[in-house]
Structure 1
Amino acid sequence: MEAVIDIAAIDNDQMLLEGMTTWLFRVPDIRLVRTATTVDDFLGRPATARIVLLDLNLEDFSDPVQNVSALVAAGCTVIVVTVVPDPSHILTTTEAGAVAYVQKSANLTALAEVVRAVARGESPLTADHAFWLGRDDRPGRPRLTPREREVLVAYGRGMTLDAVGRLLGIAAGTVRTHLERVKRKYSTVGRPIRHRGQYGERVREDGLGR
């Protein structure tokens, strides 16, 4: 029998929460066990669910980055959901520790697949998430592709070329090619990578490890 994944949702949209609860009755492996309208309310009462769906813009005008940081610090795994994508908030909440981003326009089946992937310990990259991450044009930050980010994070954490290749399902030579592109892009913005340890430094400096 498949293990049931308990999730929580922090959102002001009561209609959405009720609809999600009703729909999940038909999904045997995912159960919505807790809802809240603010992060403070959620953290103020014990919850068994460690995977949290967090609306990007709550009606209490709380800061999205602080919300993600508080939930991550409490041991939660955060999936950000929103109606209108805000590029700056998507980038900064990802850096704060959100492992996935889903637009509310996506269907619930797609959301369920993201939840399952997160429960397996993955950081699933939806097409929308990849689109906005690829357009990070803040000063001093190179514009890395999603694959370049994945390679940089894995290699920066100390994995070998072969290990990174096995993790991502690509050849070691392809990993090396991506790393060369990463080096060129960091050099272009005035932050050259001159030795192996600086790959990890760039990961930490830019909050890329999720």
Structure 2
Amino acid sequence: MRVLIADDHAAIRAGLRLLLEAHDIEVVGEAADGAAAIGNARALRPDVVLMDVRMPGTDGIAATRAIIAESLSQVLVLTTFDLHEYVFGAVRAGAAGFLLKSTTGPALQAAVQAVARGDGALSPEVTRRLLDRFAETREEAPTATPAVPGIEQLTAREREVLTALGEGLSNVGIGQRMHISGSTAKTHVSRVLAKLGVTSRMEAAVLARRAGLAD
């Protein structure tokens, strides 16, 4: 497991490095701003970038967008409990998950591993607020079932996958529910994201809620 840490505070980078290395996760590099994060991701090809959002110069949103667009790595956003609009921009940029900077070592390890294998990762304290707030920012005129572009292209099987994403299930959890392997579930998830025109499981989860497929 290879991780790149991007944060403009040296003390936070040092603390995250200690937590990761204590759980046998290799830190291959650090970056103090978004531009450096993009450059290091290109050079080092980590499995996961731990990305702060608010950094000088190129911020974490722009860096996440570039890293995801070039398929350089998965991105796990570092945030504080008081969520702000930068975080929602990171969702649209393709971030795979959100982690509190105050997280414990085991939780950090679990989140990094989840994102590295293609699952999402959300701190429990963040999940509900993030989904509800992000859904509000995309709200259109109220209807019984809000229109979700691309959802009509989904097969019945793929709608079931989208529902599971809306409930926050991992690939393994989707596989168990649908009685398929985790790798097959991952393939279904990729197809759902492509048909919906989104880059992350998080965005798909929001669309599932908007379509009334998940609470």
Query: TM-score, normalization: structure 2?
Result: 0.63
Query: Any conservation in 1 of the 2:151–2:196 contact (CA below 8 Å)?
Result: no
Residue 169 (structure 2) aligns with? none
Query: Any conservation in 1 of the 2:77–2:99 contact (CA below 8 Å)?
Result: yes
Aligned ranges 1:1-210 → 2 under 5 Å: 5-28=1-24, 30-45=25-40, 46-58=43-55, 60-75=56-71, 76-83=73-80, 85-127=82-124, 128-136=126-134, 137-138=136-137, 140-141=139-140, 158-161=154-157, 164=161, 167=174, 203-204=196-197, 208-209=203-204
Alpha-carbon distance between aligned partners in 1 of 2:176 and 2:122, rounded to the nearest angstrom:
16
Alpha-carbon distance between aligned partners in 2 of 1:67 and 1:12, rounded to the nearest angstrom:
13
SS of the equivalent of 1:122 reads: coil
1:112 maps to a residue whose letter is Q
Query: Any conservation in 2 of the 1:153–1:200 contact (CA below 8 Å)?
Result: no
Deviation at 1:118, TM superposition (A): 1.0
2:154 maps to a residue whose letter is G
The more displaced of 160-169 and 17-26 is 160-169
Alpha-carbon distance between aligned partners in 2 of 1:120 and 1:142, rounded to the nearest angstrom:
37
Deviation at 1:119, TM superposition (A): 1.5
Q: 1:154 to 1:107 in 2, by over 3 A?
A: farther
Specify every segment of 5 or more residues in structure 2 that has no aligned partner in the other structure, as ranges: 143-147, 165-172, 179-191, 206-215
SS of the equivalent of 2:58 reads: coil
The more displaced of 157-166 and 118-127 is 157-166
Query: Any conservation in 2 of the 1:155–1:161 contact (CA below 8 Å)?
Result: no
CA RMSD of aligned residues (A): 3.6
Alpha-carbon distance between aligned partners in 2 of 1:142 and 1:135, rounded to the nearest angstrom:
16
Query: Any conservation in 2 of the 1:95–1:209 contact (CA below 8 Å)?
Result: no
Identity of aligned residues (%): 20
Based on CA coordinates, which of the two structures has the bigger radius of gyration?
Answer: 1
